Amino acid sequence: MSEPTTRFQVGRREQGKRLDRFLHGRIPGLSRTRIQRAIKERVELSWGVRARPSTPVQAGGTVSIGYTPLVEELLEIEIPVLVRGPGWLAVNKPSGVPVHPVNRIRENSLIRMLRRQERHAELRLTHRLDAETTGVLLIAENRETARSLSLSFMRGLVHKEYLAVVRGVVERDSGNIDLAIGPARDSQVYVRLEAGHGRESSTAWKVERRFADRTLLRLFPRTGRRHQLRVHLEAIGHPILGDLLYGRDDGPYLRLVRGEGDARADDDGPSRQLLHCARLEFPDPSGEGTRTVQAALPSDFEGHEQE
């Protein structure tokens, strides 16, 4: 193992605790799945035993987590710029690109690729889209503009419209989903949420088109909870087509994070969740009225809009 970057001393009261539970207590922000993977790859124990998730820790011993150098080949993906304004720009986010550095993706996150593309090191995110979600994303060119746009999102001054292809035929033409969102209590996936408890959340929707076994919906989130649209649509029985986390059990997502082959191998649906931020309307940070930015549906929606 390379030179350890983090060491944890085992206290007397922790004697005999499972190694994965010991580390989860010290690093609560990581899921048990990620901790168990790290144990297999880069954890050493001072008492000379091979590290396994179930290994009991010994009081007075040291658990060392080694640093694994990150090797990342730079991708040259052009990020389409939709509109430029004073101190900001709006881009059409492609699918499969996380907006900020996460896990083993650093330089190939959208914000870092865009900084290289625009030759502007001060570009800042003002809101987020999931890695698989496409569409309008607002970027600030400086700290002041980032603060102004972020406050507009926080205060509910930004009107957001999404398009999603969902499973099943939605019978009503429009409606509202007013369901609180909180952590999923019976899931092994720590990022998973569920409707019915937690923070109040509201989404309006209307049908754009109906097909034989799916529906194209336009969605209007009135609150900005994480995974809100995905959770709300699962709750009403119409999960987003291609979503690996919602509308199914934990299995496919756990296979994905464990790197156990193709998580969609048994799925004849799309290769990503069909969710697209189609339109944003927001106060111009310069104070010059309201701006509207739209992004056309990406091509991968087309094959799933068939009778």
pLDDT at residue number 266: 63
- Protein fold of 4-66: 3.10.290
Q: How far is CA 109 from CA 101, 143, 146, 257, in A?
A: 5, 20, 18, 18
* Domain(s) of CATH 3.30.2350.10: residues in the chain: 81-304
CB proximity list for 268: less than 8 A, separation 6 or greater? none
Provide the pairing of β-strand 174-178 with 202-210: antiparallel
CA quadruple 251, 96, 111, 77: dihedral sign:
positive
pLDDT averaged per 10 residues in sequence order, the chain, 307 residues: 71 93 85 84 89 93 81 89 97 96 86 96 96 97 96 96 97 98 92 96 97 96 96 98 93 81 72 96 93 94 62
pLDDT at residue number 258: 75
CB contact burial 81-113 (16+ within 10 A = b; e otherwise): ebeebebbbbbbbebebbbeeeeebeebbbbbb
Decide: 280 and 81 in contact? Cβ < 8 Å.
Answer: no
- Protein fold of 81-304: Pseudouridine synthase (3.30.2350)
What residues does 175 pair with on adjacent strands? 205
Decide: 130 and 191 in contact? Cβ < 8 Å.
Answer: no
* Domain(s) of CATH 3.10.290.10: residues in the chain: 4-66
Query: In the 3-class helix/strand/coil scheme, how is the chain assigned residue by residue?
Result: CCCEEEEEECCHHHCCCEHHHHHHHHCCCCCHHHHHHHHHHHEEECCCCCCCCCCECCCCCEEEEECCCCCCCCCCCCCCEEEEECCEEEEEECCCCCCCCECCECCCCHHHHHHHHHCCCCCEECCCCCCCCEEEEEEECCHHHHHHHHHHHHCCCCEEEEEEEEECCCCCCEEEEECCEEECCCCCCCCCEEECCCECCEEEEEEEEECCCEEEEEEEECCCCCCHHHHHHHHCCCCECCCCCCCCCCHHHHHHHHCCCCCCCCCCCCCCCCEEEEEEEEECCCCCCEEEEECCCCHHHHHHCCC
> Which residue from 107, 103, 101 is spatially nearest to 77, judged by alpha carbons?
107
pLDDT at residue number 305: 54
pLDDT at residue number 68: 65
Tokens 């194209």 belong to 216
249 noted as active-site residue:
no
Selected catalytic residue, list 130, 243, 266, 284: 130
> What torsion, rounded to 10 degrees, do the Cα atoms 32, 37, 38, 40 define?
130
Query: Ramachandran region of residue 292, left (φ > 0), alpha (ψ -120 to 50) or beta?
Result: beta
Query: Ramachandran region of residue 60, left (φ > 0), alpha (ψ -120 to 50) or beta?
Result: left
